[in-house]
Structure 1
């Protein structure tokens, strides 16, 4: 079967689709992946290695400087709803026309299209052309259920949860629908009444999250499938093993791994990079732990060399995390699942809504003490969280048990089985 895939966002929004594309090719499908990226990196080596075609649609923002400015404004907003509107208006909407053009081409060329759940241009093109369309959700935060409230609200029972979700849906629709329906109306399509009509394919919505973190809810429809983490089985292409890391990891006292991932700052934002790196460095010193700190170290100034701090720009998470005592991170879907799969407790410093969702899930599982907010976090708060993790072995034991379950899952293989079972005929 010929399959077109389209995604948008940071590396965390792209890597799962690379993993899915690779697994589809392995199953005998002809795959083309279209990417709109914030990271401005070349993903073609993955296509060459795994045998799918790749097309770079565009970059988010016209320059890294502009992207830095946009990212800073988004993170500084304490209101998650304003953040959501900002993401659509400043980051997604400017590229809609280019994305929609490629969406149309993917629909014309393929028997099936698969898209990032917020990628409404692909859904519109599929609806207009009659091409079967599947969505992939990288988190479950926008799926209403009476069995849980929207994060971060407390669970007050099924009745109250249902009422809260109805109110939340009205608010979300007010924010999201104008962007979705602008394109739909231009293309002669009936305006959507809810974002759910677009974000959740009635044919199939694949949820790329482990069932350990995302418990399937009884009131979700049969079109929703919690598959598991979409992870490349071989990440050797992506990572280069840093020199000296083996000996640092071999110490009797396991280090803490500290990273804020894409939230660290891009190369042109040395102020944010230094601020973020200093935050993590000071927290490690306060907690009195050995630490591996991931940053853009070539842009960092005024942080002294320290024998208990190992500096990396990147590292192979699947090989490094299992050798660490705990992981401090931003709560991205990929990093969260990689940490838990490695059997390690986490301390999350959330920046945007889905990161707080994953933080709440980790707290629910008993593998994280609490969730910190980037706007109010201090080295002392991080230090307190680390001490709580390291002084309570139960968190590590629970993380170990959860990791063992996750390592037996295969999210992309499960997704491909579901896709093949649909018997798609265009």
Structure 2
């Protein structure tokens, strides 16, 4: 296959941020492009196992814990507590170094594709005068006036097409734009240091609008393209990837044996970010499963307590399992609401109980509920009695089960990676 041009994908964050970019990279590679992913060194092995080139850009987890003086748990908790900490203390102070790294990596590239948190992608594209593609992995970052995100700090935001609610949405967006305008000056200082012109774009509310192409890499069932979207924006569907080795995934033999040994279990997971701040999630989950006399799988993460339910034949504890293989065999899925976990749960056709911990998870949870595929439970209320009651209500609600089963094939039919790759590749073809 002829070389269709080298493309660099830039992303950062948890596995929920990385996996869609791996899926996209492989789809672009199938179209003849040479593809590399620019991100923290922590993901080198996973990227290379997927057959893609790794480029080191941005700080590693070790760098961040050293610089902040926090361990991973404290760092995650700080990010969960405040978006200002994420942008003001983590992203912006390191944005110039990351941008310079990305500029070096993209020399000779045909295009740059960056997540909305990969600030340097637009800078690198402008520096080399090559196309820039922006990617939002969740509706939260698009922030439509008609379909605004659910935010704990602004619970009055709701979908609207006219009237007082739309006015309230617009007022809230205007106030949000004012409160985040403080980051425009630091961004322009970085731009000046790179020899780029000044911008009036807001780092949050204008993300993607200056790109040549802006893609929503999430299911339109969560939020279709809205009327106020930027002209360059399209929702193309979720880009699924669920492998540790780059090849087909498989369940661990002991987990496979457990699943075959009885009725479908409850599955409890906190994904790959919130698992760093579990609190008593797994202890209360275990108690809830026992209250219900139900089999359960607890995915506690690499640093979790895998002896939590030692010698209990009805409970299986593991660090990790491929969601795409485990979730369809669950009775119900209890999770944190990360966008990758939400898509895998929707694909499984199983009811969900979403317990948001940070960032976009609150909005993702609200969209799962709105879609009719599950319920949401606030983290402070996560106690075994309330969890058991919520799971019992899910099991007794035929409408939720029917809706989850109906939505699943629609989500599985989406191939956001292929759709995005086709649009990106078309952008590079001579007109």
Superposed pair shares fold, TM > 0.5:
yes
Superposed, which structure 2 residues align to 1:220-231 within 5 Å?
Answer: 220-231=229-240
Change beyond 3 A, Cα 1:44–1:246: closer
Match of 2:136 in 1: 137
Which deviates further from its counterpart, 186-195 or 285-294? 186-195
Superposed, which structure 2 residues align to 1:119-158 within 5 Å?
Answer: 119-151=118-150, 152=155, 153-155=157-159, 157-158=161-162
Quote how far apart the aligned CAs of 1:251 are.
4.4
* Deviations 1:150-204 (CA, angstroms, capped at 9, x unpaired): 3142345424325423432442453243553342243342132423444334421
Change beyond 3 A, Cα 1:249–1:181: same
2:303 paired with 1:322: no
2:41 paired with 1:14: no
2:36 paired with 1:32: yes
The SS at the match of 1:327 is strand
Quote how far apart the aligned CAs of 1:422 are.
1.9
Which deviates further from its counterpart, 186-195 or 207-216? 186-195
**TM-score, structure 2 length as denominator?**
0.86
Q: Measure the CA separation in 2 of the matches of 1:103 and 1:110.
A: 11
**TM-score, structure 1 length as denominator?**
0.87
2:27 paired with 1:23: yes
Quote how far apart the aligned CAs of 1:258 are.
0.5
Quote how far apart the aligned CAs of 1:133 are.
0.3
Quote how far apart the aligned CAs of 1:264 are.
4.8
Within the candidate set 45, 62, 65, 1:63 is matched to: 65
- Give the conservation status (yes or no) of the 8 Å contact 1:148–1:158: no
Within the candidate set 245, 248, 264, 1:254 is matched to: 264
Give the unaligned 5+ runs of structure 2.
Answer: none
Change beyond 3 A, Cα 1:417–1:342: same
Match of 2:212 in 1: 203
Match of 2:341 in 1: 335
Displacement over 6 Å in runs of 4+? none
Within the candidate set 297, 312, 320, 1:292 is matched to: 297
Give the unaligned 5+ runs of structure 1.
Answer: 78-82, 267-271
* Deviations 1:48-68 (CA, angstroms, capped at 9, x unpaired): 542x21122231444385332
- Give the conservation status (yes or no) of the 8 Å contact 1:173–1:194: no
Provide the alpha-carbon RMSD of the alignment: 2.6
Quote how far apart the aligned CAs of 1:231 are.
1.3
2:222 paired with 1:216: no
The SS at the match of 1:206 is strand
- Give the conservation status (yes or no) of the 8 Å contact 1:136–1:205: yes
Change beyond 3 A, Cα 1:348–1:33: same
The SS at the match of 1:386 is helix
Quote how far apart the aligned CAs of 1:139 are.
0.7
Superposed, which structure 2 residues align to 1:254-403 within 5 Å?
Answer: 254-266=264-276, 272=277, 275-296=280-301, 299-300=304-305, 303-305=308-310, 306-369=312-375, 371-403=376-408
Which deviates further from its counterpart, 87-96 or 317-326? 87-96
The SS at the match of 1:141 is helix
Match of 2:176 in 1: 171
The SS at the match of 2:96 is helix
Change beyond 3 A, Cα 1:59–1:383: same
2:219 paired with 1:191: no
